[in-house]
Structure 1
Amino acid sequence: MIIEFRCEREHARLWMCRETLSVDGQDVPVQIAWTATIQPRPAGLEVLFDLERMVLRKGKAGGADALKAIPERSRAPLGKADVVVDFTTATRDPSCSARLYLRPRFNGAAGENAALAAILAGDLPVIEIVNELDGTVMDRGHPSGEIATGLSGSLDTVMARTLSMLAAVLSGTPRLVPQLAPSAGSSTPQNPAAYVARGLAASVAKEIYRLCCYAPHWHVGWRYSENADVWHTGDLSGPAWNVLGDPGHRFFADPFPVKWQGRTFVFFEDLDHRVGKGIISAIEFDGHGPVANVLPVLEEPWHLSYPFLIEDNGELWMIPESSEHRDVPLYKCIRFPDKWERHSTLLSGLELADVTITRHNGLYYLFGAWRDGTGGYSDTLAIYYAEQLFGPWTPHANNPVLMDRASVRPAGNFVNINGRLWRPVQDCSNGYGAALGLAEVLELSPTTYRQAVRHSLKPGPAWTGRKLHTLNRCGQLEVIDGSRVQPKTTVFRSGLLSTARSSLSEWHSAAGAKPIARRLQ
């Protein structure tokens, strides 16, 4: 198979310079056909991109950077293309004999300007891959922008995810095309210069915030409830939430409760801000609340979080997230709760975050937020299945199954209610871990997957703070987590943080944007 990218010469970008595209683990050759520009870009766009690279990315190259020298071809023509991917707005040549003629669309329109318009209107666009030979939408997804920096970073994220979707389409497996609404935002794109000014203001605000506060600072909430739990009410109402105390320079996140050998413990990520690396800790609960002290239970040279727990064959197992280490490890409990040994590696060589497993119709299914080295961390779902916990694990026929920042990333254990399977999901529409969704699994097999988000949970009067990120339950003990402002010293508690908020709010307003002070909550 030969793939041909059709791109505009005058707006050639670094992401276009590739000789292959990985499809099903195979490097498929790519050739580029440069075309003339049909739609001009906003005035000064490339200058702004250069400014962002120097100021926001400290000189680091990005996929949206302009190519300084445009080769006629990186090598001799490979031959007649089997697949054409047209990134322009040009009319398709009816004489083209490629078996597939694909056109990426951004909020329903083709071309880079459509992607830029969506970003400038305040959000990343919904991406569609359309086969122009028959008008079929072959895949659809909504990327997350939690690591995107500025306008160029957002465009880079969009194009990275477009390439991920193209690889999935070209794999030949049937795609499960979700229905996704176009991204929200003002109908009229804003001026690029104002967008960059806001980006610079936000970057400075973040630096001042990090100087004054530990960020992000997650904390665990807990309560005992019988019939007023989140899964029954669909919201955070019911008994008041308590906060598990932390030392201030450490945060607690990703709580997983378990009752084992007659004792109940909550396991969680324990991250020391001064080190920047997470370990797994635990604390015992006695039916009224936490008892004793926080106990470290598992540490590795790399970062650990999301300590998913599962009972199997009379043993207790843990799968902490170690996507930084590019594997999915399985640890066996040797002495509860504080001694764990690595037993095996379920999957290796991939970034898979927040792995969560359920049993369904006689099989084990492993869910995780998948990343192929580019783009966001919270927008792409991969599923694997096996006959036993130890594997071997087989990829779902439609991997990656779904791309949707609002309903992909796992947020806790699956729950079975009256024969219906549910899972909590992270809603990252407004940033990483901003809210929770309760999704009903409508269909799950090695070849199919469908879900529907029935309830959305956001921070508010019942759970104050900026975010809501994980939900789990053990008996009547229910746990969640969120984030809050955590000043680094008592000096900031006494007024400096308020001054910083006030100054930043004034500066940000002067830049033509909404006040930024509320973002520091």
Structure 2
Amino acid sequence: MTHIVIAVSPAHFLRWHQQLRDSIAARRPGDTVGFRLASGSAPQPQAAARLIATERLLVRGGKPTLCDRLEPPRATTTVAADIVIDLAGDYAGAGEIVLRPLYDGHPTDQAAVAAIMSGEAPVIAVANVATGAIVAEGLPSLESADCLIGGLEAVYSRLALLIEAAVENPRPAGATAARIDRAAVAPLPYILRNLAFRCGRALYHLCCHSPHWRVGWRFTQGRGVIDSGAIDGAPWRHMSDRQMGFAADPFPIAWRGRLGVFFERLDYQSNIGEIWYQAFNDAGPTGEPVPVIREPWHLSYPFLIEENGDLYMIPEASMTRGVTLYRCIAFPDRWEPVAPLLDDVEAADATVFRHGGRYWMTSVVRNGVGGYSDTLAIHHAPGLFGPWEPHARNPVVVDARFARPAGAVVATPHGLFRPVQDCSRGYGKALAIMRIDRLDPENFAQSCVSHMSPGRTWPGARLHTINRSGRLECIDGAILTPKYLPLRKLTHEWIDGRRQPIEGADQHCVATTDR
């Protein structure tokens, strides 16, 4: 039996602290998990506390949040601890393993408040206090954060996952945390900036289709994006789309002598994604695209896999809290659901591949709080139909920079490579290519080998999927598409003889993750 103690400050005991205790206790039923009061950090500064209280009333309608301050726990433990989780920030116990959360290298969440109010996500980590080594580290996604509360909930929920992982393996050797000092932002400028952002977003949605994704394609010989780590080379063309919808998540395939691309098409009026198919010939797209799978719920990311001579698809349908396998019964437009692969999990962009005699599935998961792109889970099975079981260290990555799948995993003589979305600056802003360095039921490690953003070769603001079948290579991206013709003339410039939006800025690659 392991005795786990969570050290908390009576002046700053929050709802997420209680939920962390309950989650660890449920995950480790044979251990004891209790609280211990420590002198700890002071509560949030009054200005930040007032802002959180105001947001809770006006933005969240008084509903409970992870940021709520609770009465300190009355029942505390006095047993000798094997592991202490120091949420107070200054626990000084002796003889135990002490794990301390860090926010941008600081021991209190006031650094997280400063980061969020400055418009950034803090780097979160769990350190072994005795050695100073980082046990677990990540970057939460703020893509769905609606205010300071939303940002803090994204931070707290993902930090809880890192703490649970650190409790499972508290002694790995890692580097020390880098300390980031940010200038404090007063609440009033933060409120005004958020108000201006909300007004600008409302005006943007009034005038523009947002976002307007399009599919790019090219025929290429030899090295493609996965091999070269760049989107330059042969020029990209984009599939024709319609003003009242967008096209995204392309998966090209050559199937029994027929070449084409499956993709998500979203209609702006219904705001529900469907899976469509565009036929290709040696010159490019031919004929009109056709719908292939329509459901009452949103569908996207039509991942394809061949098994025993049949073609299967796993479209993303995270709002159903399941992952369903479809079989093609008449190519390309007749499909039937044949098996649930995962149940009761909000999983997006499920990507299946074979490795080491097993089937592996990567996806990003979410449990109702925080972003949609920062938490990578892996499942594995002896066959495509399962049974699928979770990886021993799920979630294996908690990081918006290299968690979310961006296409099929590619096996090469140099290893397995998985394209990922870099959502650190927003959803679908850039791509990275990760090499899978280690994968088995107990371990996962990956490292970044290349990073790419939209630019002159593929103008636009976003880039988030890459797939290839034979010579046909496809990407996607989002452009600014005003709803009205006069605005289009004002917001577009001539690039390569076509009207395209101004190209996006480049970003940088983060080195490795290893959990």
**Normalising by structure 1, what TM-score?**
0.86
Instruction: Note the 1:8-157 alignment, pairs <5 A.
Output: 8-18=9-19, 20-22=22-24, 25=27, 31-36=34-39, 38-39=41-42, 41-57=44-60, 61-65=64-68, 67=69, 70-73=70-73, 76-77=75-76, 80=79, 82=81, 83-94=83-94, 100-157=97-154
Instruction: Note the 1:235-250 alignment, pairs <5 A.
Output: 235-250=230-245
- 1:442-470 CA-to-partner distances (Å, cap 9, x unmatched) read 22222222211111110110011100000
What is the CA–CA distance in structure 2 between the aligned matches of 1:188 and 1:451, rounded to whole Å?
A: 34
Bigger mean CA offset, 5-14 vs 453-462: 5-14
State, as a whole percentage, how many aligned pairs show the same letter.
40
Bigger mean CA offset, 23-32 vs 378-387: 23-32
What is the CA–CA distance in structure 2 between the aligned matches of 1:180 and 1:420, rounded to whole Å?
A: 30
Matched residue type, 1:16: H
Judged with a 3 Å threshold, the aligned counterparts in structure 2 of structure 1 residues 444 and 179 are, in CA distance, closer, same or farther, namely: farther
Judged with a 3 Å threshold, the aligned counterparts in structure 2 of structure 1 residues 47 and 329 are, in CA distance, closer, same or farther, namely: same
Matched residue type, 2:246: F
What is the CA–CA distance in structure 1 between the aligned matches of 2:320 and 2:25, rounded to whole Å?
A: 23
Judged with a 3 Å threshold, the aligned counterparts in structure 2 of structure 1 residues 448 and 11 are, in CA distance, closer, same or farther, namely: closer
8 A contact 1:370–1:380 mirrored in 2 = yes
What is the CA–CA distance in structure 2 between the aligned matches of 1:370 and 1:439, rounded to whole Å?
A: 19
What is the CA–CA distance in structure 2 between the aligned matches of 1:177 and 1:349, rounded to whole Å?
A: 35
Instruction: Note the 1:59-458 alignment, pairs <5 A.
Output: 61-65=64-68, 67=69, 70-73=70-73, 76-77=75-76, 80=79, 82=81, 83-94=83-94, 100-170=97-167, 172=168, 187-227=182-222, 229-458=224-453
Bigger mean CA offset, 5-14 vs 215-224: 5-14
8 A contact 2:37–2:76 mirrored in 1 = no
**Count of aligned residue pairs for this structure pair:** 491
**RMSD value over aligned CA atoms?**
2.9
Match of 1:10, SS? coil
Which residue in the other structure is 2:512 paired with? none
What is the CA–CA distance in structure 2 between the aligned matches of 1:182 and 1:57, rounded to whole Å?
A: 34
Match of 2:298, SS? coil
What is the CA–CA distance in structure 2 between the aligned matches of 1:384 and 1:178, rounded to whole Å?
A: 26
Report the Cα offset of residue 176 of structure 1: 8.0
Judged with a 3 Å threshold, the aligned counterparts in structure 2 of structure 1 residues 449 and 40 are, in CA distance, closer, same or farther, namely: closer
What is the CA–CA distance in structure 2 between the aligned matches of 1:278 and 1:481, rounded to whole Å?
A: 15
Match of 2:154, SS? helix
Matched residue type, 1:63: L
Judged with a 3 Å threshold, the aligned counterparts in structure 2 of structure 1 residues 478 and 31 are, in CA distance, closer, same or farther, namely: same
Matched residue type, 2:16: W
Report the Cα offset of residue 307 of structure 1: 0.5
Ranges in structure 1 where 5+ consecutive residues have no aligned partner: 499-516
Match of 1:162, SS? helix
Match of 1:265, SS? strand
8 A contact 1:176–1:449 mirrored in 2 = no
- 1:407-466 CA-to-partner distances (Å, cap 9, x unmatched) read 111100112233422111111111111000011122222222221111111011001110
Judged with a 3 Å threshold, the aligned counterparts in structure 2 of structure 1 residues 410 and 241 are, in CA distance, closer, same or farther, namely: same
Matched residue type, 1:209: Y
- 1:288-342 CA-to-partner distances (Å, cap 9, x unmatched) read 1111111110112221110000011111000011111111111110000001111
Matched residue type, 1:281: W
- 1:166-214 CA-to-partner distances (Å, cap 9, x unmatched) read 22333x368988879859x874343343233222211221111112222
Match of 2:11, SS? helix
Judged with a 3 Å threshold, the aligned counterparts in structure 2 of structure 1 residues 386 and 169 are, in CA distance, closer, same or farther, namely: same
Judged with a 3 Å threshold, the aligned counterparts in structure 2 of structure 1 residues 39 and 518 are, in CA distance, closer, same or farther, namely: farther
Match of 1:247, SS? coil
Bigger mean CA offset, 80-89 vs 247-256: 80-89
Judged with a 3 Å threshold, the aligned counterparts in structure 2 of structure 1 residues 38 and 403 are, in CA distance, closer, same or farther, namely: closer
What is the CA–CA distance in structure 2 between the aligned matches of 1:431 and 1:23, rounded to whole Å?
A: 34
8 A contact 1:369–1:408 mirrored in 2 = yes
**Normalising by structure 2, what TM-score?**
0.87
- 1:33-54 CA-to-partner distances (Å, cap 9, x unmatched) read 4555644644511222234345
Report the Cα offset of residue 263 of structure 1: 0.4
Which residue in the other structure is 1:7 paired with? 8
Judged with a 3 Å threshold, the aligned counterparts in structure 2 of structure 1 residues 180 and 5 are, in CA distance, closer, same or farther, namely: closer
8 A contact 1:21–1:30 mirrored in 2 = no
8 A contact 1:272–1:278 mirrored in 2 = yes
